[in-house]
Amino acid sequence: MPLRSDWSDSQCPLARGLEVLGDPWSLLVLREVFFGKARFEDIKASTGIADSVLSKRLSALTAHDLLARRPYDDESGRTRHEYVLTPKGEGTLPVLNAMIHFAEQHLGAPSESAHMQIIHSSCGRRTTSADRCDACHEELTADTTTWVSFARAEGPVQLAGSQ
């Protein structure tokens, strides 16, 4: 018996959105791709996700046209695939930003380094809004947004956008 019913035809857009984005691992995979991780091994290393689960999530995200597969040759000349955001996938940025803001505002952090900030790189100001910069009101896109995750890096990380 499935865990729940299929919501892809639901009358509610939130339920339809959850059909695609409601899985925690899928959002964490998207986080990694925004952070510039494109390859299976890199995503696996920074999430700790099991191979089989990661394979399934990458397939689902690709099937939903949030990620695209792009071939590259590894050191041995073997052709492998990496994953890049599609424009639709980049459209999830405000969802992830909103989740980060919600956690920062309402959920505790286990340590001082477990915080994140979202910076609009065009104006250099921190924003606490998910889709537009608080300071200059420009739309936040991957190209103009950096995430500062103190647990990952000292400074801001420029996000990878759709390619």
Q: How far is the CB of 133 from Zn ion (least distance, A)?
A: 3
31 vs 120, which CB is nearer to Zn ion? 120
Candidates 100, 155, 163; CA nearest to 127 is: 100
Q: What are phi and psi of 42, to 5 degrees?
A: -70, -40
Tokens of 137: 């009101």
Q: How far is the CB of 131 from Zn ion (least distance, A)?
A: 12
Tokens of 58: 């990458």
133 vs 159, which CB is nearer to Zn ion? 133
Cα separation, 125 vs 144, whole angstroms: 11
Cα separation, 159 vs 147, whole angstroms: 7
Tokens of 56: 């399934």
Binding site for Zn ion (CB under 5 A): 120, 123, 125, 133, 135-136
49 vs 118, which CB is nearer to Zn ion? 118
Q: How far is the CB of 104 from Zn ion (least distance, A)?
A: 18
Cα separation, 125 vs 69, whole angstroms: 33
130 vs 135, which CB is nearer to Zn ion? 135
Q: How far is the CB of 129 from Zn ion (least distance, A)?
A: 10
Q: How far is the CB of 101 from Zn ion (least distance, A)?
A: 15
Candidates 137, 136, 64, 129; CA nearest to 94 is: 129
98 vs 109, which CB is nearer to Zn ion? 98
